[in-house]
Chains A and B, each alone.
Chain A
Amino acid sequence: DAGVIQSPRHEVTEMGQEVTLRCKPISGHNSLFWYRQTMMRGLELLIYFNNNVPIDDSGMPEDRFSAKMPNASFSTLKIQPSEPRDSAVYFCASKIRTSGNQETQYFGPGTRLLVL
């Protein structure tokens, strides 16, 4: 079975450019998460969706960041304009949302972003 798919795997861009990261969750999963990981701050939750609806975007750094989930099989994270401090690994994860507490998130391979 295909896991979470992210593209691109690597992105190098110049400051001020728009960056769009893409994610395809595991089929049947109804929750999707965007994380950012840096050496300094570790793994941070940016935003998550349940059934394509954004539930909590309090982790989104600022207005330059936006995320959408137009359907159950696709999500984007956009940075416009990008800045060098946005350089990080961006992970997408998905899971089946249940009423229980024990649940597993499946992470994609990540997108390594470098903003020059």
Chain B
Amino acid sequence: RKEVEQDPGPFNVPEGATVAFNCTYSNSASQSFFWYRQDCRKEPKLLMSVYSSGNEDGRFTAQLNRASQYISLLIRDSKLSDSATYLCVVNKVDTGRRALTFGSGTRLQVQP
């Protein structure tokens, strides 16, 4: 089983739609969580961190459910520019072994 699992998509949605991605992680010792965004043929960039209480950044809302070990990302009022691959990322912090573990990503295509 992969440490971080995501539905690869693609999710094809019209502009203005609300879309949600989920991600599950297998290591209960994971301590910090992120969503990264990767545009086609570009490098990944941090979209937002995910806090235990849930957090919002404009049209983006991230939530964490530790009991069920899943993370979600909600995008409201989708824009064409939101088209990208969204990577769920988990970090298990210990004595320094291992770093971020990336999911394979969920591809979003927002259509006019």
Residues of A bordering B, CB below 8 Å: 31, 33, 35, 42-43, 45, 48, 50, 55-56, 58, 91, 101-105, 107-110
Contacts and interface: CB of A to CB of B under 8 A. Distances in A.
A42 B44 CA distance: 12
A62 to B, nearest CB: 19
Nearest to A108: B43
A59 to B, nearest CB: 9
Nearest to B33: A101
A109 B43 contact: yes
B69 to A, nearest CB: 16
Contacts of A109: 42-43
B26 interface: no
Interface residues of B, number: 21
A26 to B, nearest CB: 13
In this complex, the member of A33, A101, A110 whose beta carbon has the largest number of chain B beta carbons within 10 angstroms is A101
Given A43-B102, A101-B31, A101-B32, A55 B43 contact: no
Contact of B98 (A43, A56, A104): A56
B45 A107 contact: yes
A100 to B, nearest CB: 8
A56 B102 contact: no
A33 B103 contact: no
